[in-house]
């Protein structure tokens, strides 16, 4: 199925797919596209038939080349500036908090808001023509929110974060892999899309409660939410589940488990 022409959504066999669909504009993001992404994330989180989500850009030139410049025309006052970053932070938080693992399949330009979206995903893989960055120091002269800076620093460290923003340069695919920004580099867009699908299928076949507990546990660590007993709810969610019993029975019977997510 598909919705808003600028953001396509489909799901099949437990795999959701989101496609930014403005290839003529290098998939630059409008406010409506940001909001649609948040809506999809909430929809996916509520649908326990979905096990994993792929996010990609249409065409072979861009994942998403930032926020469409036209969206900034209304920014004139202090309130406008704060409202813009607050809106983007809200959408990115919804994406980051999505119940299922998210895979960013990055082709071509992944800049500004597009790079911020990729940074929120659990796994990033890229084609050889991918380029990442926030070239705002030579374009608009705006800045990233503290939340977006925090995510970027967590991925690549403070020194590289400052260097790429100060110089406004774009990080190419192999450097991104060496820096830990992406986990794999594929030779071309077709190979990337095939790998994203294969990776999604592997994840979708695994125990969903284990994956959900791991994603939530890592998120808590990122928030420095470490206290005695923290995580006990995640342990109980898995160990007291039907899936845990199924896993033991299947292992002993030497058969594949049938995961139900409960």
254: phi > 0 → left, psi -120 to 50 → alpha, else beta; which?
left
Sorting pLDDT into bands at 50, 70 and 90, what band is 222?
A: confident
28-37, 71-80, 248-257: range with lowest mean pLDDT: 71-80
Q: 7-204 has which CATH code? A: 3.90.226.10
Q: Which residues pair with 29 in a beta bridge?
A: 67
Mean pLDDT to the nearest integer, 176-193: 97
pTM, two decimals, is: 0.93
131-133 sheet: strands from edge to edge: 62-65, 109-111, 131-133, 171-172
Q: Is beta strand 15-20 parallel, antiparallel or unpaired with respect to 7-12?
A: antiparallel
Closest by Cα among 202, 205, 223 to 260: 205
Q: What is the pLDDT of residue 225?
A: 59
Distances (CA, A) of 187 to 66, 107, 124, 169: 24, 11, 15, 22
Sorting pLDDT into bands at 50, 70 and 90, what band is 1?
A: very low
Q: What is the pLDDT of residue 226?
A: 65
Q: What is the pLDDT of residue 3?
A: 44
Q: What is the pLDDT of residue 70?
A: 86
4-8, 115-119, 148-152, 197-201: range with lowest mean pLDDT: 4-8
Q: Which residues pair with 125 in a beta bridge?
A: 105, 184
Mean pLDDT to the nearest integer, 142-167: 95
Residue 3, token pair as written in the block: 């919705």
Contacts of 211 (CB under 8 A, 6+ apart): 51, 100, 101, 203
Residue 169 per-residue DSSP state: P
Q: Hey, how many other C-beta atoms are within 10 angstroms of the C-beta on 244?
A: 16
């Amino acid at each position: 199925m598909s919705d808003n022409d600028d953001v396509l959504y489909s799901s099949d066999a437990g795999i959701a797919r989101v496609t930014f669909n403005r290839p003529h504009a290098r998939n630059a993001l409008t406010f409506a596209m940001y909001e649609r992404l948040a809506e999809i994330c909430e929809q996916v989180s509520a649908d326990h038939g979905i096990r994993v989500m792929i996010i990609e850009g249409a065409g072979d030139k861009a994942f998403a080349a930032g926020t469409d410049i036209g969206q900034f025309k209304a920014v004139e006052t202090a309130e406008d500036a704060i409202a813009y970053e607050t809106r983007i932070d809200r959408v990115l938080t919804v994406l980051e908090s999505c119940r299922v693992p998210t895979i960013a399949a990055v082709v071509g330009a992944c800049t500004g808001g597009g790079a911020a979206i990729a940074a929120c995903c659990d796994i990033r893989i890229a084609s050889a023509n991918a380029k990442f960055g926030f070239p705002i120091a030579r374009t608009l002269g705006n800045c990233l929110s503290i939340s977006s800076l925090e995510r970027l620093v967590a991925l690549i460290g403070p020194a590289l974060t400052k260097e790429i923003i100060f110089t406004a340069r774009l990080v190419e695919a192999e450097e991104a892999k060496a820096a830990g920004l992406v986990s794999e580099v594929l030779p071309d867009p077709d190979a990337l899309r095939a790998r994203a699908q294969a990776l999604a299928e592997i994840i979708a076949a695994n125990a969903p409660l284990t994956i959900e507990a791991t994603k939530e546990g890592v998120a808590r660590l990122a928030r420095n939410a470490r206290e005695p007993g923290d995580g006990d709810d995640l342990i109980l969610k898995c160990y007291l589940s039907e899936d845990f019993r199924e896993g033991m029975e299947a292992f002993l019977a030497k058969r594949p488990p049938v995961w139900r997510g409960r």
